[in-house]
């Protein structure tokens, strides 16, 4: 016997799937065409959804974009966590910078940039974008501290992490204009050395002589052995 309860589940699943297709299509179009070139009509066409169905879920472009911001936040967080979990052991600081560099040159970051620019002159969009970007920023910062094994109670270490994220984010911004991969790689090579030297020179909370940072090894070597 078919009841309302048994038919509701497939309908809800179809509705979620349709919503997901619309949001994915929005992100793809933001990357390909930018915010100005993304319209609800194009989104419905890309998603393979009728205009009526699209309007049922998202009556206006603003509704669609705000939902896309939330979707992007979740996707960026999931991608970062997956990349961190796949980070090779012993990769050291340079591997962490590669992870961050990949994130800040990824399609989802490019889509987020389009929303940043649009939000600058759109108060309603800014209201949606700002808190979610702050959430992503906190998560990226936390993950970077964890992966670097940095102790932010040591003076200057928090600023070092913040400078690292500002640097890698800036390189990602530059990448939207031109692919300058070689220059970016050289900069990240050098910055990894700066991080290692700074963290190894920072006084730690422990004075255990067996601690890796207390051994008279070169900074790069001691940092590698701690990861």
Lowest mean pLDDT among 65-79, 103-117, 158-172, 198-212: 198-212
Residue 188 contacts by C-beta under 8 Å, 6 or more apart in sequence?
94, 97, 98, 101, 168, 171
Do the domain assignments include residue 121?
yes
Is the pLDDT confidence value at 119 over 60? yes
pLDDT of residue 11: 79
Do the domain assignments include residue 130?
yes
The percent of residues in the chain predicted with pLDDT above 70, rounded, is: 85
Structural domain containing residue 201:
87-225
pLDDT of residue 9: 57
pLDDT of residue 90: 75
Instruction: Tell me the average pLDDT across 145-161.
Output: 95
Instruction: Tell me the average pLDDT across 61-75.
Output: 87
Is the pLDDT confidence value at 198 over 50? yes
Is the pLDDT confidence value at 124 over 70? yes
Do the domain assignments include residue 11?
no
User: What Å distances lie between residue 151 and 58, 78, 90, 156, 217, CA to CA?
Assistant: 45, 25, 19, 10, 20
Is the pLDDT confidence value at 199 over 90? yes
CA angle 106, 109, 112 (to 5 degrees): 155
Do the domain assignments include residue 193?
yes
Do the domain assignments include residue 7?
no
The percent of residues in the chain predicted with pLDDT above 90, rounded, is: 50
Distance CA 25, CA 64 (A): 11
Is the pLDDT confidence value at 214 over 50? no
CA angle 170, 23, 55 (to 5 degrees): 135
Task: For the chain, give the mean pLDDT.
Answer: 84
Is the pLDDT confidence value at 209 over 50? no
- The pTM of the full predicted model, rounded to 2 decimals, is 0.77
Do the domain assignments include residue 32?
no
Number of domains observed in the structure of the chain = 1
29 contacts 46 by C-beta, under 8 angstroms = yes
């Amino acid at each position: 016997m078919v009841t309302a309860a048994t038919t509701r589940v497939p309908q809800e699943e179809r509705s979620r799937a349709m919503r997901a297709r619309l949001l994915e299509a929005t992100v793809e179009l933001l990357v390909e065409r930018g915010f100005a070139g993304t319209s609800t009509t194009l989104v419905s066409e890309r998603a393979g959804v009728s205009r009526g169905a699209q309007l049922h879920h998202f009556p206006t472009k603003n509704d669609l974009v705000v939902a896309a911001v939330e979707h992007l936040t979740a996707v960026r967080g999931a991608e970062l966590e997956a990349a961190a979990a796949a980070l090779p052991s012993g990769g050291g600081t340079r591997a962490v910078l590669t992870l961050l560099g990949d994130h800040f040159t990824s399609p989802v970051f490019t889509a987020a940039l389009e929303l940043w620019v649009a939000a600058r002159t759109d108060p309603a969009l800014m209201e949606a974008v700002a808190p979610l970007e702050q959430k992503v920023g906190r998560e990226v910062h936390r993950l970077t501290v964890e992966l670097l094994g940095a102790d932010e109670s040591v003076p200057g270490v928090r600023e070092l992490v913040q400078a690292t994220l500002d640097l890698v984010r800036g390189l990602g911004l530059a990448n939207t204009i031109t692919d300058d991969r070689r220059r970016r790689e050289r900069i990240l090579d050098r910055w990894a050395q700066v991080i290692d030297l700074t963290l190894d020179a920072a006084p730690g909370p422990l004075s255990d002589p067996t601690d890796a940072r207390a051994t008279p090894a070169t900074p790069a070597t001691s940092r590698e052995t701690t990861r």
